[in-house]
Each structure stands twice: as structure tokens, then as C-alpha cells.
Structure 1
Amino acid sequence: MLYYLFRFLEQFSISGAHIWGYISFRSLLAMILSLVISAWFGEKFIRFLKRKQITEVQRDKSIDPFGVNKIGVPSMGGIIIIVAILVPVLLLGRLRNVYLLLMIATTVWLGFLGGMDDFIKIFRHNKEGLKGKYKIVGQVGLGLIVGLVLWASPDVKINENLTVKRENRTEMVVKHRSQARKSLKTTIPFVKGHNLDYSRLTAFMGPYKTAAGWILFVVMTIVVVTAVSNGANLNDGMDGMCAGNSAIIGVVLGILAYVSSHVQFAAYLNIMYIPGSQELVVFFCAFIGALIGFLWYNAYPAQVFMGDTGSLTIGGIIAVGAIIIHKELLLPILCGIFFVESLSVILQVYYYKLGKRHGVKQRIFKRTPIHDNFRTQDSQLDPDCRYVFRKPKGAVHESKITIRFWIVTIILAALTIITLKIR
């Protein structure tokens, strides 16, 4: 809103109005504003949650080897994150931008879905929350909408990167097509040219390969949104864990969105140029600021939990943002922590059921998701169960586990950016 106001005032030569046209100014302002909102609104909202007794009812000292009782800590703190993202974005973003509208829709959609889950857990005293099938339907529905919009919208176009040889020279130079057009290409790591065209995977369809490619893209969007949002949800098990990891991931996505929207940087990195994606920089700066402000209250010992309201929303934002800038195939590296958390649960369940068929009680890890494996005491283990991995002996404090997971995410974030030059 403010963007349009000051762009209007610029016509009358109002001093300083032109600065609102700079993406760097609006992005940094969005980060500062979201951080302030998250910290200021967070304090008031936590008091409100305590008055209304909207508090955690599941976590107690029996599952914490250090005896920390977390019953009574306010939950649904994800609302703080959502508000701190949406307010700066609505004020400072270009609301006619299709990419920004998709990110806003994602935030509201998954915020509502996660809020319903938290509502059932807290107010209906049902620890299972919203049934899993309804969560999946909500996530699949969002992925379907995002995929179809990116397919159908005339504003969603890219300038493909092309490697050509200079005349009378041996070196290659990267140029972009002069006209933006619809494309099924996405960035793939460690491959020369960096691009994978979905329609190449459906080449066997002959004249229908492009249509089949778009269908494959929509299916891929659904899978990515569902997987990353569930991964973030599983990662939200320790104070500051999910918020810290997601802020680091948000920094990388903001950088990738910026270089994708800058034709010179896109050429230097040999990636596609995506007109209009600069508005995602504003969004991700607000995203980072909101998470950092939330950490003020969520760092150990937590004064508030984000709940599924926050974790599902965070995962969806990361997934949709990566899909928009055609970097979804980098997510297994960038969101490696989320991937491992999900994989640990899948493997644990499969291995346990496999043993059950043969009358054997067995598990791979002491507890899953994987971060819980590190804070589980040996005395808490089932003596009748066989464990493949019993390390570490004893329990690691959750604040140390959280910091170590942040460090791993920083390494993965750096590796993700490096992949743009390793090919």
C-alpha cells in the first residue's frame, strides 16, 4: 500500500518518494518492521494467550531428561509470525505481483490449517489434533492451486539462460532470451547449464509432452509443498529449533530470489532470469525478521510455542517460494534437516512394523524425529526393544542440539549457494 502511495507522490516530485522504488530499501524496511512487530506484538499476544489459558497440554518433564516441565507454556505462537509477515508485506509489497499474492495466500491458507489443528488440540483436548487426512487434503489443495496458477497465469514467465560462444573467442558467455515466455525448466544442481525441463521427462508422450510436462510440474508442486511443510512440522520439537533453521533457509531463498530477478547476476550465475521475482525478496525479508523476532520468546526456555499454526505455515512458505523461483530441486540440500527429520520417522515406523511381523520388538533410533534421539536417556529406553543406534550415551541438552542443528543448516545453506557455481 505504501509502495503505491509513494510511487503516486513521486509524480509530484515529492522529495524521497523515489526511494520506494528500490527493492533493497523496501526489503530491509520489511525486515526491520517485521522484527519490531514480532517482538512488540509477541509480548502482548503471549499475555493474551496466558489469560485465555491457550497453553501447551502435552509436553511435560517425563519426556525431558533434564526435568523441564513445559505444560502451561502458551501455544499457537505461529500467529505472531504470520502477523509479523503479512503486515510489512501488505504495506511495502507490490500487491499486483502474482508471486507475492501466491505467498500471501500460502501464509493464510496453511496458517488456517495449522490453527485448526492447534484449536482441536487445546480447546477440545484431543492430542491428535486435526486428522491427518484433512491436513494432507489441505496441503495437496494448496499445492494444486499454486501449480495451476503458475501454469495458467500469463504473468508467470522467465527468460531462459543460454550459453553461447563469443565470436573469434574460445570462452563461453551466458545470455538470456530477449523475450520472457512460459517455461517448464527448473534449476538442477551439479549439472552443466543448470536446467532441467520437465517436458523432457514426458517426451514419450509425443505431441502431448508439453501438457504432460505441466501436469508433472503440478504434481511436483503438490509433493514439495506437502513434504516441506510436514518436515518443518516435525522439526518443531525443541525451543528455537524450527524458527532458527527456517530463518537461515529464508536468507538463502531471499538471495536466490534477488539474483533471479537481476539479469546481470542471473547471467553471471548461469541461471534463468525471472522478471517480477524481486517482490519475493520483500516477502522473505519479512519472513526472516518475523522469525528472528519470534526467537526472542521462543529461544530456550521458550515463553511460547509456534504450534502447527507456525510450523506448517513456515514449511509451506519455503516450499512455494522455492517453486516460484524454479529452485525446488535445491530443497533436499537446503532443507536437509527437514528431510532427515521426516526420513527418520518413516524409517523408524517401517523398521518397527517389519520387526512386529516377525514377533521382534525393534527400533532404529532411540526416539524420532531424529532430534529427540539425542536428548533421550538410556534409562528411558524399553529394555525389551532392540535398538540399532543407541548413541549418544546419555542425553544432550536441547539448547545444544538446537544450536548444532542451526550450524548444520548454515553449512547446507552455504552448499546450496555453492551449487550454482559447481557444475
Structure 2
Amino acid sequence: MNLNYILAFGCSLIVTLLVMPKLIPFLHKIKFGQVEREEGLASHKAKGGTPTMGGMVFVLVPILIMLILNPKAFTSMEMLIVIFAYLGYAVIGFIDDFLIVVKKNNDGLKPSVKFLMQSVLAVVFYFIYQSIAQTSVNIPVLHISIELGFLYFVLIFIMFTAESNAVNLTDGLDGLCAGTSLIAMAPYIIFALMQKESDLAMFLLAVCGSLIGYLKFNLHPAKIFMGDTGSLAIGGLLAATAMILKEELLLIIIGGVFLMEVLSVVIQVTSYKLTRKRVFKMAPIHHHFEMCGMKETQVVLMFWCIGFIFACIGLWLGVI
């Protein structure tokens, strides 16, 4: 493996491991803590006050590492789209987190404003990308490419807005979002290496290194949460990566856990509005399993395993 890949991964991991022990007490000091929902599980009430916005670290550290180790990556339009998607959605999440910790409630950004900001970024990235690439999608297994024309805009819009929100919904248990995100990134690192997109592979490895460093402090009982800063950023990164690598359709499978989470919310809300009955004991679906009696750590491990299966299937479909 290229030495730069190892350096990017290792440096991001080490810097994150060094920064986190300093950041956690600082966030405690300025009272940037998690605000638990009133309607949330009783077992989660104790998490109130746990520092949030930890996503700042695994967003900024990989970008800084890339600037130091591989500054030429920032001259590529494709890489700029990926990096600014990561950073742009992180900024939206940061604003949301900041409003929550300042107001000391879970209001944050109004959902309509939040979605508008996510939509604007999706539109911007689409128009930049379509000026340098084809508006077609590759069909896995069949090895054919289909030109979508305007429908490609619809696909990209859904990818960015849905993926960022889906990852956000997954961030509900200690270690759940970080672990499933790491698993989902692995196939795309392999795809990037296969397509000789070395800069992208290096950046994703840097992100993974930093995420692993963050995960050390996010495992149960979590000492810090990523907040919307981290979850929206990861969603934006996965969507941008899938777009750049022309593996858009495989994101549905590789990000299967995120799809499960968002579908559980859609099903729950729709069912309750139409029949006044709930399909799940609580949504997103990871809370359903908690309410069925599973321990938080058991639910997280189960979802990691499910995510691993989805990632393997997606990788297999992408390479056959």
C-alpha cells in the first residue's frame, strides 16, 4: 500500500486521540452538552450534559492532514466537491448543534430551514459536478451505463438530502453511527483504489483514522457525541463519494443501515397519521430494539453486523 495512505490514516488517528482528551473537558467547561428529548427513553436521560459536537474533530483533522500530506488533492474539482460536501454539511450540523446547546432544548434549526440548507448544497454540488462529468449512472452487475439527463439531478438531490438525514437519524446510540459509517466507507475506499482515485482513497482513509480515534471516546458509555456536526457531514461525504466514483446506486445497499433507519421513521409517521397506530415501539428502529429489551451495546453490535453484511454485498456487486 502507498505510504501516503498509511500516513494519512495513522496521522489522523493519532491527532484525534491526542485532541479528544483535551476537547472533552473543554466542552464540559463551556457547557456544550447533549440535550436529551423529553419523549426519549428513560435510560438515555443520564446522557444529558455529555459533550456534543465531537464531529468537529473528525471533520477538520482529515482535511488538515490532507493539506499537509497531499496539498495537490485540492487542485482537483472532484476532490473539492467531496471535501466541501463534507465540510458544508458539517457547517449546517454545527449551526444546528450550536443553537441546541445555547437554547438548552432540542429545537435547533427549524426542519424547513435545515432541509433548505441541505438542498442548496445538493443543488450546488450537482451543477458543479455535471459541468465536469456525465449525468449517467452505472448499473451494477450488468456493466452498463444509463444516461439520466434531468433525472440525474433528482437522484443527486435525493442522495445528498436523504443520506445526510439518514446518517443523522442513525446517531442515537453510543458508537452506532461512527461504527456503521466506518463500515460503509470501506467499500468506497476499495472502489477508489480500483479506479485509481488515489487522492479520494487517501482522504477516506484519513477520515476513517479520525473516526476510529473518535469512536474510542464514543463507545458505551460515551464521553462525547458527534452531534449533527458529524452525522450530517458523514452523510454528505458518502453521497459525494458515491457520485464521484459513479457508484450512486450501490449507496442504497452499502448504506443499508441508514436506509433502515430513515424508512422506520417514515413508516412510523405514516402509519400513525393514517391509522393512529404505531408499527414500532419507537422510531428510529434502533430504539425499537431497546424497548424490546435489548441492551444498547447489543443493539449497536447487531447493527454493525447488519452494516457489515450490507457493505459486503455492495462491494461484491461493485466488483463482479
Length-normalised TM-score, structure 2: 0.95
2:137 corresponds to which residue?
186
In the aligned structure 2, how far is the partner of 1:62 from the partner of 1:406? 23
In the TM superposition, residue 414 of structure 1 has moved relative to its aligned partner by: 0.8
1:411 corresponds to which residue?
309
Report SS of the residue matched to 2:220: coil
Report SS of the residue matched to 2:68: helix
Q: Is the CA contact (8 Å cut-off) linking 1:144 and 1:219 kept in structure 2?
A: no
Q: 1:197 aligns with which of 146, 164, 182?
A: 146
Q: Is the CA contact (8 Å cut-off) linking 2:35 and 2:105 kept in structure 1?
A: no
In the TM superposition, residue 244 of structure 1 has moved relative to its aligned partner by: 0.4
2:155 corresponds to which residue?
220
Q: Is the CA contact (8 Å cut-off) linking 1:77 and 1:310 kept in structure 2?
A: yes
Q: 1:401 to 1:219 in 2, by over 3 A?
A: same
Aligned-partner residue type, residue 346 of structure 1? V
2:67 corresponds to which residue?
90
1:179 corresponds to which residue?
none
In the aligned structure 2, how far is the partner of 1:241 from the partner of 1:420? 25
Aligned-partner residue type, residue 34 of structure 2? E
1:80 corresponds to which residue?
57
Report SS of the residue matched to 1:27: helix
1:205-258 CA distances to partner (integer Å, 9 max, x unpaired)? xxxxxxxx1x32222111101111000000000000000000111111111111
The list of structure 1 runs, each at least 4 consecutive aligned residues, that deviate by more than 4 angstroms after superposition, is: 59-62
In the aligned structure 2, how far is the partner of 1:417 from the partner of 1:329? 12
1:369 aligns with 2:284: yes
Q: 2:166 aligns with which of 231, 237, 245?
A: 231
In the aligned structure 2, how far is the partner of 1:337 from the partner of 1:123? 31
Q: Is the CA contact (8 Å cut-off) linking 1:348 and 1:363 kept in structure 2?
A: yes
1:75-94 CA distances to partner (integer Å, 9 max, x unpaired)? 11111111222111212232
1:12-57 CA distances to partner (integer Å, 9 max, x unpaired)? xxxxxxxxxxx82212211111111111111111111011111112
In the aligned structure 1, how far is the partner of 2:159 from the partner of 2:55? 21
Please, what is the CA RMSD of the aligned residues?
1.8
In the TM superposition, residue 421 of structure 1 has moved relative to its aligned partner by: 4.8
1:289 corresponds to which residue?
209
In the aligned structure 2, how far is the partner of 1:420 from the partner of 1:257? 11
In the TM superposition, residue 61 of structure 1 has moved relative to its aligned partner by: 11
Aligned-partner residue type, residue 72 of structure 1? G
In the TM superposition, residue 126 of structure 1 has moved relative to its aligned partner by: 3.5
Q: 1:122 to 1:24 in 2, by over 3 A?
A: same
1:351-382 CA distances to partner (integer Å, 9 max, x unpaired)? 00011xxxxx4110000000000111xxxxxx
Report SS of the residue matched to 2:75: coil
Q: 1:403 to 1:375 in 2, by over 3 A?
A: same
Q: 1:62 to 1:141 in 2, by over 3 A?
A: closer
In the aligned structure 1, how far is the partner of 2:53 from the partner of 2:266? 26
Q: Is the CA contact (8 Å cut-off) linking 1:38 and 1:84 kept in structure 2?
A: yes
1:146 corresponds to which residue?
125
2:87 corresponds to which residue?
108
1:253 aligns with 2:188: yes
1:99 corresponds to which residue?
78
1:37 aligns with 2:15: yes
Aligned-partner residue type, residue 310 of structure 1? G
1:291-343 CA distances to partner (integer Å, 9 max, x unpaired)? 10000100000000111011000111011101110001001110000001000
Report SS of the residue matched to 1:186: strand
In the aligned structure 2, how far is the partner of 1:254 from the partner of 1:187? 18
Identity level (%):
34
Report SS of the residue matched to 1:95: helix
- The structure, 1 or 2, with the larger RCO (C-alpha pairs under 8 Å, 6+ apart) is 2
Q: Is the CA contact (8 Å cut-off) linking 2:250 and 2:318 kept in structure 1?
A: no
Report SS of the residue matched to 1:363: coil
Task: List runs of 5+ in structure 1 lacking aligned partners.
Answer: 1-22, 157-182, 200-212, 262-276, 356-360, 377-391
Q: Is the CA contact (8 Å cut-off) linking 1:61 and 1:70 kept in structure 2?
A: no
**Correspondences of 1:19-30 after superposition (within 5 Å):** 24-30=2-8
**Correspondences of 1:1-20 after superposition (within 5 Å):** none
In the aligned structure 1, how far is the partner of 2:319 from the partner of 2:97? 43
Task: List runs of 5+ in structure 2 lacking aligned partners.
Answer: none
In the aligned structure 2, how far is the partner of 1:195 from the partner of 1:260? 16
Higher helix share: 2
In the aligned structure 1, how far is the partner of 2:54 from the partner of 2:62? 13
In the TM superposition, residue 62 of structure 1 has moved relative to its aligned partner by: 6.9
Q: Is the CA contact (8 Å cut-off) linking 2:171 and 2:177 kept in structure 1?
A: yes
Q: Is the CA contact (8 Å cut-off) linking 1:250 and 1:287 kept in structure 2?
A: no
In the aligned structure 1, how far is the partner of 2:219 from the partner of 2:107? 25
Length-normalised TM-score, structure 1: 0.72
Larger radius of gyration: 1
In the aligned structure 2, how far is the partner of 1:58 from the partner of 1:402? 19
Q: Is the CA contact (8 Å cut-off) linking 2:36 and 2:45 kept in structure 1?
A: no
Q: Is the CA contact (8 Å cut-off) linking 2:164 and 2:235 kept in structure 1?
A: yes
Q: Is the CA contact (8 Å cut-off) linking 2:136 and 2:152 kept in structure 1?
A: no
